[in-house]
Amino acid sequence: MADLADTIRSIPLFSGLSREDIAKILGKLEEKSFVAGTTIFSQGDKGDSFYFIQAGAVQVVLEGGGGRRESIAVLGPQDWFGEMALLSGEPRSATIIAVKDLTVWRLTREAWDELIEKHPTWLLHFCASLSKRLARAEQQYSKGRDAFNSLAEEFYSSRSAEQQQFFRRASLLATIDPQTADELLQAKGAEGFLADLQKSQFPLIRSIEGNRYELHAFFREFLTEKLLRVEGAETEQKLHSQIAAQYELLGNWEQAIHHSLEAQEWPQVIQLLSAQKEELLDGSALFVKNAVERMPPDHFFADPHLVHIKARAVAHLGDLGGAVRIYKEVLSQRAAGSMSGEAVARYQSMADTLVQKREYAQALHCLRSALNLLEQETVHVAGDVNDLYRDNKQSGAPSSVSGPESRMGSV
């Protein structure tokens, strides 16, 4: 009991009490056991007891609208929950479910009230302890994360090598559809693997609409770390490329673009954005804007297609001034030293005047024309260089331009 007394005193609610007072609380504790899967209490229930975990683990679940449930923490030995029930009796703010066989010490509100009636000065300590709740919340988050990782490791290590590989790679998917997971990950048995995980008491996965699954965020991070450690960054990048290609075949453009970005396949991203821009802009303008912003700056400033797409996405989102600023930023970089500099400056001046009149559509038209002018100049210069290269090659003159063979080397 001495160890239990020290642990009870480490709880902020009781930290201001003497050892003698803690001994009085220990005399009121009841030992209770629950099998895995038991709901200790549900969100909204009247708060009538405080619990201190002796052995086992519980998950803390928030119930949302539409039947949505989210596991936000896992608590293990020497963690506690439900202390606000002693102070206010307010309804439970979350559901607590045993994920492993559980043994707790319980202090009921009735026993607590008896103690307070005999020792009213304790309330002064408890009022002071409330100020520590924010600090405790951060500490519990960290402890809950450690407990969650412990459960994840327990589940992961009990799986076959084939299942472990599946879950590592599935961590790259935002949502998992059992009907397409094998195809996306080039695996076999996805439906069975996911069903096994869902049947376990571990809060690592949840069902979402459309007969799909979503891995808990902590579990995804755990598996992603395993993927990097076991298979390496190069394999992860190749998997993203493979997943992007499959999503493209399925016509899921957002996911195809997302995974192409993760694979750093910039030309493929540009191709997908350009080919599907009308459909994407109509329904997912914010996604388009964010996708372009994930491109390396040198690709963005060098490719007018990306500039036009981002400006249109921003305009779709209602920020016409932002669309104007995008063009002006690109033009300021590309017009320096250009032979078309004067013409570009005139277009920009016209655009500024139109913006002052709040005629944004016409202003954007001027800026698009300025960028197109610069792009035509770039194409003409590139054509001149190619002509010079061909002339030199036909005359036998040496050239400093290397062809594909010289760049490839031996494979």
Tell which CATH classification among 3.30.70.100, 2.60.120.10, 3.10.20.520, 1.10.132.20 matches the domain 2-147: 2.60.120.10
pLDDT at residue 168 tops 90? yes
The pLDDT of residue 144? 60
Q: State phi, psi for 76 to the nearest 5 degrees.
A: -125, -165
Overall average pLDDT of the 15-37 stretch: 88
- Contact yes or no for 176/170 (Cβ under 8 A): yes
The residue among 61 and 173 whose pLDDT is bigger is: 173
**3 state SS for 194-253:** HHHHHHCCCCCEEEECCCEEEECHHHHHHHHHHHHHHHHHHHHHHHHHHHHHHHHHHCCH
Overall average pLDDT of the 375-388 stretch: 56
Is domain 159-264 in CATH 1.10.10, yes or no? yes
Q: State phi, psi for 216 to the nearest 5 degrees.
A: -60, 145
pLDDT at residue 42 tops 60? yes
The pLDDT of residue 405? 38
The pLDDT of residue 258? 97
Provide, rounded to the nearest whole percent, the portion of the chain with pLDDT above 90. Answer: 50
Least confident of 75-89, 214-228, 347-361: 75-89
- Contact yes or no for 228/219 (Cβ under 8 A): no
pLDDT at residue 389 tops 60? no
| d(C-alpha 369, C-alpha 344), whole Å | 9
Quick one: tokens of 176?
A: 């998992």
Confidence of residue 65 (pLDDT cuts 50, 70, 90): low
The pLDDT of residue 130? 53
Going from N- to C-terminal start, the domains of the chain cover 2-147, 159-264
Same fold, 2-147 and 159-264: no
Cβ partners under 8 Å of residue 101, min gap 6: 33, 34, 35, 36, 55, 56
Confidence of residue 293 (pLDDT cuts 50, 70, 90): very high
Angle at 39 between CA 168 and CA 65, to 5 degrees: 75
Q: State phi, psi for 397 to the nearest 5 degrees.
A: -75, 145
| d(C-alpha 167, C-alpha 271), whole Å | 31
| d(C-alpha 86, C-alpha 113), whole Å | 8
Confidence of residue 400 (pLDDT cuts 50, 70, 90): very low
Confidence of residue 376 (pLDDT cuts 50, 70, 90): confident
Overall average pLDDT of the 392-405 stretch: 45
pLDDT at residue 316 tops 70? yes
pTM of whole model > 0.75?
no
- Contact yes or no for 25/4 (Cβ under 8 A): no
Least confident of 76-90, 117-131, 282-296, 374-388: 374-388
Q: What is the mean pLDDT of the chain?
A: 83
The pLDDT of residue 141? 54
pLDDT at residue 403 tops 70? no
pLDDT at residue 384 tops 50? no
- Contact yes or no for 263/294 (Cβ under 8 A): no
